[in-house]
A and B are shown apart, each in its own frame.
Chain A
Amino acid sequence: MSKLISIIKSDITFSPYKFYSDFLDAVSKYYSNESTIPCFKIVENGDEEIYNSNYRIDPITIPLLLSLFEQLQKFHKSPIELLLYNNRATIKLLDFLYGSDFFYLCGDNMNPTYPKGRKIMSFNDGFIGNLEGKNQRSEHKVRAYSLDDDNLTVLLAGFESEEQKRDFLISHYTYKVREHFEELLFENQFTLSYHNSYIDILSELITNGVLHSKSQTFALMFVDRFKTKFSISDNGIGFEASMEIKDPTFYYTYNDLRSILINRKRLANISDKILDNLYSIFETLYYSSIKERKGLFDLMINVVLNSKGYFRLHTENCQVIISNRMMDELNDLEINRKEIYELHNRYLLKLIDDSYYKNNLINLSIHMKTSFVKFFDKAIDKYNNDIKFSSLRFYKVKFRGVHIEVEIPNL
């Protein structure tokens, strides 16, 4: 019998923070001591202490959980065992997970009404029954996407450039997410009026995920009265490796920003390896901010400045939380971005000549780089002053891939 690792602790909401800090730590400890395949308990106390236990999960943790289990399943080449309990303490949790299609997705479901089972986990579905089912309105759904679905790998081969492939995938996922999250996108007047922004968020981030990860990308959307949340998680090559393969242009070469950041203020007690993750997040955002195409940077600005939301990027050991607490720096970046994007477009429209375009773009890129360095310095200062309210988080255990959470208040 394998040793057990419990996922959700009593009286502690299983949030992404708990996932990155405590749960990953527990998994990592297991692997440093044991060589057998682990088995997971959905809740800490199982069938014990059913009158004293309360289990809560923040829905945006679900994609992270699936992403981790998929990594383990690939490593062990077999589905990971999950122990379920159906009792007074767990019934709400089961109801919640069932409503999100979690069990259909990670099990071996073949019923086309529900998401196709990805065979990541094995569990006894006899425990999923007698649910309260009071809340028929679904407010959260999790879905998985990969290039193996819908014959996408073959279809993508028909496109020459990387850009065409991206555009094709974004188009494809726009239609998919509109269908998959339809009831949430058109849930109320608020989501209705923002549904196009939400579709942009989901389709862009899922495309990034599947293109880079070459495996499953898990996406969840959650709506309640106060906010709309998205969580998109993949276990691909991460920011660093995807930046490495970018072709250099006359205004960007690999590590442009990082080579400067590396010599800036340092953080005490954080190893170089972990800091590398932080640099790679900044490098990716910088690259996206000077490109001729709209991408991750524009999406982030839109979420934080226009929708007053939070944008959290996690890769390996590091997480950057971008919110309107950094309004001044972000405004500066946005103004630069507008100039750069306009310059690209004017060139495409043949309104300006080659040399004007090149000279200006090089200058604007340098300007953008300076703004990013300021942004970085400020984030580091804040971290050194007060870790708790800092926009940077560093975790002990490495979690492969890119994990993005977006939270938008329903104002």
Chain B
Amino acid sequence: MIISKIVTLNFIYFNLHAEEVINSNYIKDDKSGIYGDRLQISTIDRIAEEIDKDNFASKNIVFDFKFINACQPNLNRTVINIKNKGYKILLIDISKKLCEELAFDSIENSNNTLQGDIFTKFYLFENAHNNFTNIEIKPADIFYEEFKSTIKKYINPHSLPHSSSFVYLTSYVDMKKFMSYEKELLLFSIYKLAIKIKTKWQNEIEYGPILICQSMNSAFIVSILSTFLKLDILIFDKIGPINKLYNRLDNTISDKRKYIIVSDLVCLGTEVKIVKSLIQFIGGNCLGNVSLIKTETLKNTHIIKENATIAIFSIKRANNKELNYDIFTDLESL
């Protein structure tokens, strides 16, 4: 399974660290989470197989080396074999040292861009006038577009009131269906979320905060996040959309631990607030909350940073029309 493959009109994108994380944790059972920083031949072999199998229309490939600090010796031969099949390869975010170790530095291209010790762009071909060198590549944008076009398929019209907050929604995001049908993108999204959590709570992560989920969907997300981040989890039986608690809270929440609340989609954040209150009532420390998707109902300037949900995709003013998603009430507009 290749999770990070994104096919665009002009190129095919692969995130090598994400693939390495899948290889090490799920195929090789190495249990190093997202903390591994070396790329192995078995990972790049899987990508090479995928490229062979799919026979893409585009012959341009982007390999994203972000978070990769070392490679298995002789890995360059697999990459060169892909190149020798007629593909034009661009490496992004690859360190100069790694480039030298892989002996790619004998290929010169005037479009290669070095910032400090990192090549933001390193072309594995010498023709500086090839069209591929003119294409702007931003991994965050590539992912955003891919996620937007995919999630669109799972947004359905909805006429009933929102179940936990007193508002109406024009549409309903069928997360369950998205999670069942789009496994690869889901895993890549959870990987991205794990990276965001690690970056946001760099210091706290060391002391092992607990990931909390409060619904069936988020239980699935949390189980993968816990593998990626090597953190413990706590499953709250059910807080929203249907609210029912089976466990006694003082048995499960410890006042000595810190907690991160995980959701699949945060619309107005009612459930998040309930969970946060429950944790704080027992004396636990709530670090914050994360979600795959969130809606940004406030302007950027009005959002209080501490309360903001960390998410890998936002439904916001710039895209809610395109996604056919709106929140409204029965009140008359003034």
Contact = CB atoms under 8 A, between A and B. Distances in A.
B77 interface: yes
A293 interface: yes
A300 to B, nearest CB: 13
Contact of B83 (A167, A346, A349): A349
B106 A294 contact: no
A395 interface: no
Nearest to B69: A196
B188 to A, nearest CB: 21
Contacts of A341: 103
B317 interface: no
Contacts of B29: 175
B133 to A, nearest CB: 18
Given A293-B73, A293-B77, A342-B103, A179 B31 contact: yes
B80 A171 contact: no
Interface residues of B, number: 25
B30 A175 contact: yes
B60 interface: no
A237 to B, nearest CB: 23
A345 B24 contact: no
A170 B70 CA distance: 14
B106 A196 contact: no
A349 B30 contact: no
B40 A175 contact: yes
A199 interface: yes
B269 interface: no
Contacts of B42: 167-168, 171-172
Given A167-B41, A175-B40, A342-B106, A350 B30 contact: no
A390 to B, nearest CB: 31
B114 to A, nearest CB: 20
- Judged by DSSP, the binding face of B is loop
B30 A171 contact: no
Contact of B30 (A178, A293, A295): A178
Interface in B72-106: 72-74, 76-77, 80, 83-84, 103, 106
Contact of B36 (A178, A203, A342): A178
Contact of B106 (A204, A293, A349): A349
Contacts of A175: 24, 28-30, 40
Contacts, number: 67
A204 B73 contact: yes
A167 B74 contact: yes
Interface string B100-139: 0001001100000000000000000000000000000000
A174 B73 contact: no
Interface string A193-218: 00010011001100000000000000
A345 B99 CA distance: 13
A171 B72 CA distance: 7
B37 interface: yes
B293 to A, nearest CB: 33
A178 B70 CA distance: 14
Nearest to A338: B103
A298 interface: yes
A384 B40 CA distance: 45
Given A175-B30, A196-B69, A349-B80, A293 B40 contact: no
Interface in A279-300: 293-295, 298
B32 A178 contact: yes
Contacts of A182: 32
A203 B72 CA distance: 10
Contacts of A351: 106-107
Contacts of B106: 342, 345-346, 349, 351
A196 B37 contact: yes
Contacts of A327: none
A26 interface: no
Contacts of B30: 175-176, 178-179
B74 A293 contact: yes
Contact of A171 (B31, B41, B70): B41
B107 A349 contact: yes
Given A200-B73, A298-B73, A345-B76, A350 B103 contact: no
B183 interface: no
Interface string B296-310: 000000000000000
Contacts of A342: 103, 106
Nearest to B124: A349
A178 B30 CA distance: 8
Interface string B61-73: 0000000011011
Interface string A348-374: 111100000000000000000000000
Contacts of A345: 76, 80, 103, 106
Nearest to A197: B70
A98 to B, nearest CB: 25
Contacts of B257: none
A199 B38 CA distance: 10
Nearest to A168: B42
Nearest to B83: A349
B74 A350 contact: no
B24 A294 contact: no
Contacts of B28: 171-172, 175
Nearest to B38: A196
B73 A348 contact: no
Contacts of B73: 170, 200, 204, 293-295, 298
5 contacts: A167-B41, A174-B38, A175-B40, A178-B30, A346-B106
Given A172-B28, A203-B72, A345-B103, 8 more contacts: A171-B41, A172-B42, A175-B24, A175-B28, A178-B30, A345-B80, A348-B77, A350-B84
List the 4 closest pairs (A to B, CB-CB), nearest first.
A196-B70, A175-B30, A294-B73, A171-B42
